[in-house]
């Protein structure tokens, strides 16, 4: 590499560094501030726009100063690998996992994950959308549709807003689904239903009754209770399009 080639890269790197940190170095100090200002504002506002549109609730529960510090910290400290704009939200999630900003509420990562999950369900390039599957019986063999995703959190992230900040942890299980009209919805479920959904997701050839029997044994719950309650839930899920025949 010639000295001049190295120089052009150094110059560009110093410029990028300035845009991120807004700290002047000798490489950019000869440039007019009003021109540099255009770059620092353009870039920061652009990244801020991506993050606030992906995480509106996290934005809402932080004050303006905190939000600016958070986005700046992301922009300065996190190297984004993705060339895809919709995946900037995933980069931000990765950043939140290790962010050391002390004003972030304890549930921040989980809240952001939930906000990302809703976006992901809207745009994921996946197989079948959910279709209604009525009249599931105990002898049917069913599994979950491709456009359904189950997630668990330590906080009731789906309820958080500026009017509701959880004081304590509360185990929360949610299923997100994209329907045949391509709209996204979610339902909240209990831990036992979460277990049932997990079993259905991995199911290849076990009938509903065998699957429920397995859960009854694993969880030490009466078979009658599980059979009736489980079948009711599976039927409801079939009606809202979460399941398909194996």
Partner 1 sequence: MALKGSGLGLRREMLDDVSALTPKDVDFLEVAPENWIGVGGRYGKAFREFTERFPFSCHGLSLSIGSADPLDIEFVKAVKHFLDVHGIDTYSEHLSYCSDNGHMYDLMPIAFSLDAAQYVADRVKQVQDIIQRPLVLENVSTYVMLGDGMSELEFMKEVIHRSGCKMLLDVNNVYVNATNHSFNPHEYIQSLPSESIEYLHIAGHFDEAEDLLVDTHGADVKPKVWELLKYAYQCHGVLPTLLERDFNIPSVSDLLAEVNLIKLYQQEVNYERQLA
Using CB under 8 A as the criterion, what x/- string covers residues 33-72 for binding partner 1? -xxx-xx--xx--xx--x----------------------
Binding span for partner 1 by CB under 8 A among 119-127, 132-140, 160-168, 193-201: 119-127
The answer to whether residue 204 forms part of the interface with partner 1 (CB under 8 A) is: no
Rule CB under 8 A: is residue 151 a binding residue for partner 1?
no
- Give me the residue label for tokens 């304890």: 106
CB-wise, 158 or 177, nearer to partner 1?
177
Q: Is 98 helix (H, G, I), strand (E, B) or coil?
A: helix
Whose Cβ is closer to partner 1: residue 76's or residue 106's?
Answer: 76
**Residue 98 lies near partner 1 (rule: CB under 8 A):** no
Shorter beta-carbon distance to partner 1: residue 88 or 234: 88
Instruction: Please tell me the distance from the alpha carbon of residue 124 to that of residue 83, in angstroms, as a whole number.
Output: 16
**Could you give the angle at the alpha carbon of 53 between the alpha carbons of 48 and 55, nearest 5°?**
90
Sequential DSSP letters for 197-212: HHHHHT-SS--HHHHH
- Rule CB under 8 A: choose which of 24, 25, 29, 82 binds partner 1: 82
Burial class (CB in 10 A: 0-12, 13-18, 19+), 37: exposed
């Amino acid at each position: 590499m010639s000295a001049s080639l190295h120089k052009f890269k150094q110059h560009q790197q110093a410029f990028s560094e300035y845009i991120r940190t807004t700290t002047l170095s000798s490489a950019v100090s000869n440039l007019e501030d009003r021109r540099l200002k255009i770059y620092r504002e353009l870039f920061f506002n652009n990244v801020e726009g991506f993050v606030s549109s992906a995480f509106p609730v996290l934005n809402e529960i932080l004050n303006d100063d905190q939000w600016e510090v958070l986005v700046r910290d992301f922009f300065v400290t996190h190297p984004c690998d993705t060339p895809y704009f919709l995946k900037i939200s995933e980069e931000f999630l990765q950043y939140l996992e290790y962010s050391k900003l002390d004003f972030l509420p304890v549930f921040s990562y989980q809240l952001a994950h939930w906000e990302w999950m809703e976006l992901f369900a809207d745009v994921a390039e996946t197989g079948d959308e959910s279709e209604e599957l009525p009249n599931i019986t105990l002898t049917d063999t069913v599994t979950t549709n491709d456009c359904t995703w189950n997630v668990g959190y330590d906080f009731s992230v789906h309820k958080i807003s500026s009017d509701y900040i959880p004081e304590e942890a509360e185990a929360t299980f949610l299923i997100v689904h994209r329907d045949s009209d391509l709209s996204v919805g979610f339902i909240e479920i209990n831990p036992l239903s979460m277990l049932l959904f997990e079993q259905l997701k991995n199911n290849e050839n076990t009938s509903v009754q065998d699957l429920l029997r397995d859960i009854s044994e694993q969880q030490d719950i009466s078979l009658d209770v599980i059979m009736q309650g489980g079948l009711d839930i599976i039927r409801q899920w079939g009606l809202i399009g979460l399941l398909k025949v194996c």
